[in-house]
Structure 1
Amino acid sequence: MSYTTIQKDFYRESGKWLSSWEILKKCINPNLHFIYVLRKAQKYNNKPVSGIFWKFVLRHYQIKYGYQIYPETEIGEGFYLGHWGSLVINPKAKIGKNCNIAQGVTIGQQNRGKLQGFPTISDEVWIGANAVIVGGITIGSNVLIAPNSYVNFDVPANSVVVGNPGVIYPAESATESYINNKI
């Protein structure tokens, strides 16, 4: 059976494959509701009528829930928002599969200097509350970014980043028990 991106996102939350009807029932959860609307806006982004409709709906829920994520943002399957609350992701950032993002996180652009640009975040990255990730940097796979960390440098795979300024610690099982129900 082929699963949709929305089904894969919702699987991360429950560990169960849901039908379309079950997905709609789960949309009382603000995080899942926003992901549902975001994925619809992404799917129809370049369509004249439905694209405008879903962008309008998305804008409503961006304001309601405090998530600033745009349809242009490339986000892999299995996206998981840990908690309801303020969240800012630049539309040019790239996020891989099976990534968890907590409340208060900023993933943004750096406008000057050698790291000018937007972050690229690989697969299976866990980003803790109030972390800030900025600049033309790359975060490797299986990386845990601790709450309140500031990251404006490349992070190799299999690492934990802690602090402001962030310090990298190698860890083969960095996201074990943090990222559940991987797709």
Structure 2
Amino acid sequence: MISNKEDYKDYLQSDLRSAKIQKWKWQYRYKHEILKFQRLLRKIEYYQNCKKDLFSKIYLLFLKYSYKKISLKMGFTIPKNVFGPGLSIPHYGTIIVNPRAKIGKNCRIHASTNIGEIDGEAPIIGNNVYIGPGAKLYGAITIGNNVAIGANAVVNKSVPDNVTVGGVPAKIISEKSSKAMIIEGHK
């Protein structure tokens, strides 16, 4: 979670590196809508968590309005303070994440993904996790570090570190980790 200006800068840089970009350029605002979305998400997290003066609270309202507009346009329902640094969203499309979910650094999440809750409990997802297109994760489960979740998998049970899961319901299909499928934007 972003708790100071250094964290904010680190999150922004990690998200860029996860998209294979080293430095933000003003042209990206028009070329990379997903990165524009992510930068706005991080800015909201920074202002909500760190800035308490009146001007910042008013500016935060404007940021939230802009965020809602771009979220609707892109089909993303991604709440604040859920994803760690190094978030990678490679494609437009519906992504729904419950606000109770906690997701570590370097998560690569694809379109048509749903991370939901059951009885008020949502998944806790480790670092360096690849979530394939159409995957559904729900309930009080823990996904380990370096896990790859296959396309259209339905994950309703906890998953250990360094494996690949797939199927309905999801089960371990390989002992390979997610290392080849993600870009580590945050070390």
TM-score tier by shorter-chain length is 0.7 to 0.9
Give the secondary structure class of the aligned counterpart of 1:81: coil
CA deviation string 1:63-88 (max 9, x = no partner): 111100122x3211100002111110
Instruction: Specify which structure has the bigger relative contact order, considering alpha-carbon pairs within 8 angstroms and separated by 6 or more residues.
Output: 2
Q: Distance in 1 between matches of 2:68 and 2:78?
A: 9
Deviation of 1:180 (Å): 2.1
Structure 2: gaps (5+ residues): 1-5
User: 1:7–1:25: structure 2 CA closer, same or farther, 3 Å change rule?
Assistant: farther
| Contact 2:15-2:86 within 8 A present in 1 as well | yes
The partner residue of 2:48 within 15, 38, 45 is: 45
- When structure 1 is superposed on structure 2, of 35-44 and 124-133 the one drifting more is 35-44
Q: Distance in 2 between matches of 1:36 and 1:170?
A: 35
| Contact 1:124-1:142 within 8 A present in 2 as well | yes
The partner residue of 1:175 within 169, 173, 178 is: 178
Deviation of 1:153 (Å): 0.8
TM superposition outliers: structure 1 runs of 4+ over 4 Å = none
Aligned to 1:92: 100
Structure 1: gaps (5+ residues): none
Given the alignment of the two structures, is residue 105 of structure 1 paired with residue 107 of structure 2, yes or no?
Answer: no
Identity %: 33
CA deviation string 1:139-164 (max 9, x = no partner): 00000000000001110001111101
Aligned to 1:5: 11
Give the secondary structure class of the aligned counterpart of 1:4: helix
Aligned to 2:169: 165
Deviation of 1:40 (Å): 1.1
TM-score of the superposed pair, with normalisation by structure 2: 0.86
Deviation of 1:17 (Å): 2.5
State the Cα RMSD in Å: 1.6
Aligned to 2:155: 151
TM-score of the superposed pair, with normalisation by structure 1: 0.87
Q: Distance in 2 between matches of 1:94 and 1:176?
A: 20
Aligned to 1:18: 23
Aligned to 1:58: 67
Aligned to 2:3: none
Q: Distance in 2 between matches of 1:168 and 1:122?
A: 16
Aligned to 2:129: 125
